[in-house]
Amino acid sequence: MKAIVQDTYGSADVLELRDIDRPAVGDHDVRFAVEAAGVDRSVWHMMTGRPTMSRLFLGLRAPKIRVRGGEAAGTVVEVGPGVTRFAVGDEVFGTAPGTYAEFAVAAEGRLAHRPVTVDAAQAASLPISGAAAWFAVEAARIKPGHRILVLGASGGVGIYAVQLAKAAGAHVTGVASGGKLDLARAAGADEVLDYTVGDVVDGSVLYDAIIDIGGNRTLGRLRRALTRGGTLAIVGGEDGRGQVLGGFQRLMLAGVVSAFVPQRLLGVMSNEGPAALEAVRAAAEAGVLVPSIEREFALAEAPDAIRALDARSVRGKVVVRVARKAARAG
């Protein structure tokens, strides 16, 4: 099969389109033909091996998993003898190692049936970004009428967080750069703020919860925009100030500070397992989660898709289109 492979850590220049063997199928595994694969920040981390602390898990000198990609949608072509939830021909979405390839293998619990309301490219944008947004909104403990601030509201996770917070009955303020404010509005934000023209957490407005996606503001600055019993939910760590820890020290510090202040400060840990995938599927089928796909890249263009993500020029999500199939009946 054809796949996007790397032998060493580095920029997108280390990625190559090669012919490799198909991955083996275990007793509880599902092999599926990949139709489309999402492009999210975790792909960049695994490609670069940054922050360097992550190499303890990814591989010290080179990535253990050589094929890039993590979220995808496709059609089941083979199941292990212990698989009970899927059969050959099922359309699925979820996460698997190495989805920038013609075929991928996932543990049964990392997949769900594809939402009937979306196509393969849209479904491929949901498993990681949609699950992260779902966990963040759950952590925020939103109640109808709460005021919620979403920092990074124009990105893949941010758009979904706005949509889910609105569905929970919140009054949502979305923060993005001026050229992307329309995306936050389209996602349903009641108000939008351009972070390039002012301090959006100056304390002049207090929020019941702040969902901070890949931000770099200090905990102290964020706390001043929270109500006394408010919640700060941090998704990701992208402050760019450290090669070793990246922004993950802020996630760890949040838990420590939270023990001594009236507000809840927490780093959101996402797990794209059955519960999250089924919640995301239900939200998509209910019309709550509506993917925003800016562009589809061909498999050979996957390095360019990652470059676009790294340059922060992406509006919503981009996906890697691996194959196409006939439209669904009905």
* Tokens matching residue 180: 């992307």
What pLDDT sits at residue 247?
Answer: 59
pLDDT score recorded for residue 246: 53
What are the pLDDT digits (tens) for 228-276? 999 999 997 654 444 555 556 777 778 788 788 999 999 888 788 899 9
Packed helices 127-140 and 274-285: angle between N→C axes, nearest 10 degrees: 90
The predicted model scores a pTM of: 0.91
Buried b (16+ CB within 10 A) or exposed e, 95-123: bbbbbbbbbbbbbbebbbbbbeebbbbbb
* Structure letter (DSSP) for residue 52: G
Residue 236, pLDDT score:
74
Looking at the chain, the domain(s) classified CATH 3.90.180.10 span: 2-126+291-321, 129-267
The C-alpha atoms of residue 223 and residue 213 are separated, in whole angstroms, by 15
Distance between first and last Cα of the chain: 31
CATH code of domain 129-267: 3.90.180.10
Spans in the chain with pLDDT lower than 50? 239-242, 326-327, 329-330
**For 173-204, what is each residue's pLDDT tens digit?**
999 998 899 999 999 999 999 999 989 999 99
Q: Looking at domain 2-126+291-321, which CATH architecture does it have? A: Alpha-Beta Complex (3.90)
Tokens of 15: 């990625």
